[in-house]
Amino acid sequence: MIEDIARKIIFDIKPYVPGKPIEEVERELGIKNIIKMASNENPFGPSPKSMAAMKEALERISLYPDGNCFYLREALAKKICVELDNIIVGNGSDEILKLIAETFLDPGDEIVIAQPSFSEYEFVGKIMGASCVFVPLKDFTHDLEAMSKAVNEKTKIVFICNPNNPTGTVVTKFQADEFLKDLDPRVLVVFDEAYYEYVDHKEYPESLEYVGEQQNVITLRTFSKIYGIAGQRIGYGVAKPEIISAVNRVREPFNVNTLAQVGALAALEDDEHLKRSFQGNLEGKEYLTRWFQEKGLYYVPTQANFIFLQVGVDCQKVFKEMLGEGVIVRTGDIFGYPDFIRVTIGTMEENERFTRTLEKVISRLK
């Protein structure tokens, strides 16, 4: 029996369930013209400059990539005004989450997580044998006051997803400042900012300002969302040099492939694509929220590129009915909300198709 030889802790881990791929739906249902609005990818795609750079780099894929991601780290350091040794690059920010856990967690340690939030925090904690302390959201937002009270002598890491996935809400600078002010400096705080570039909230904290202060803070960002290269798996972390040096000890050599590195580097230089993606998301958000209001549907105001929406019926039934119409969304039951769905903001054409389909599906199910 495999249970006799595998680590016992792994049987307590819930496997991550990604958004259903388009190819899988085509294969299972035999339909075409499918749109995926489930995984918070950029519907406008990657930067043309990024695409061109990756195509050019194909000639070099017989060689190992730059194991230190020097040129990308150099460009990032210049862009966000930090030093080279403040930055680590990973195979998506997911990998950096796992590296952080491998670096800092021992069996019996505790991590503090909002609930619901990104499921990878629980995964990386449990895989290292740590205990997860869940703190319910307050008004769909991290309750930092309650999270502060959950910290004790066993706490090693606090994860703050800002904006939060799946709700799209943010904690403010004042809330973050107050939380960090009273926190034991031995606790590592991870600000996961995958949707950072979509935020326009005036009171959103600039977490990079905390790096280098008394608290041990690491900020994570990614090229999977607004930069549109989720398929290449690349993200980065920013922290004190001693934190980065420790995490690098458990990082695999050549963890980030060549195409990802050159694609990300070129994406950083294309401000116009970033602006177009931000504006397209803003217009889509305004269209969808206006439609929800007209139909009397409750939604959580978002600072990201997705919306957490209450559909008022079983989300699994909505999911399956919409799937049959070629529209992929995310169910809310996995986050503890059985009558919610999470929908990625798409192109205007996709948004209009989504609203038409949702209206038809809800009327069919009620």
Q: How far apart are CA 170 and CA 201, in angstroms?
A: 8
Sheet holding 299-300, edge to edge: 299-300, 306-310, 340-344, 330-331
Radius of gyration (C-alpha) of the chain in whole angstroms: 21
DSSP H or E stretch at residue 358 = helix 348-365
8 A C-beta contact, residue 169 and residue 301? yes
Res 92: pLDDT:
97
Mean pLDDT of the chain: 96
Q: Phi and psi of 217, rounded to 5°?
A: -120, 140
Pick from 157, 169, 229: nearest CA to 195 = 169
HEC profile of 124-180: HHHHCCCEEEEEECECCECCHHHHHHHCCCCEEEEEEECCCCCCCCCCCHHHHHHHH
Res 218: pLDDT:
98
Query: Which tokens sit at 132?
Result: 């997860």
* Tens digits of residue pLDDT in 237-294: 999 999 999 999 999 999 999 999 999 999 999 999 999 999 999 999 999 999 999 9
Q: How far apart are CA 270 and CA 282, in angstroms?
A: 19
CA distances from 279 to 199, 275, 276, 329 (A): 11, 6, 5, 22
Which residues neighbour 13 within 8 Å (Cβ) at sequence distance 6 or greater?
Answer: 123, 126, 127
Q: Which residues pair with 241 in a beta bridge?
A: none
Which residues neighbour 208 within 8 Å (Cβ) at sequence distance 6 or greater?
Answer: 80, 81, 82, 219, 238
Q: Which residues pair with 343 in a beta bridge?
A: 307
Res 26: pLDDT:
87
Res 166: pLDDT:
98
Q: How far apart are CA 144 and CA 146, in angstroms?
A: 5
Global confidence as pTM: 0.95
* Tens digits of residue pLDDT in 81-90: 999 999 999 9
Domains and CATH numbers, the chain: 18-45+272-365 (3.90.1150.10), 48-269 (3.40.640.10)
**Averaged pLDDT in 10-residue chunks for the chain of 366 residues:** 82 77 87 95 98 97 97 98 97 98 97 97 96 98 98 98 98 97 94 98 96 89 98 97 97 97 98 98 98 98 98 97 96 97 98 98 91
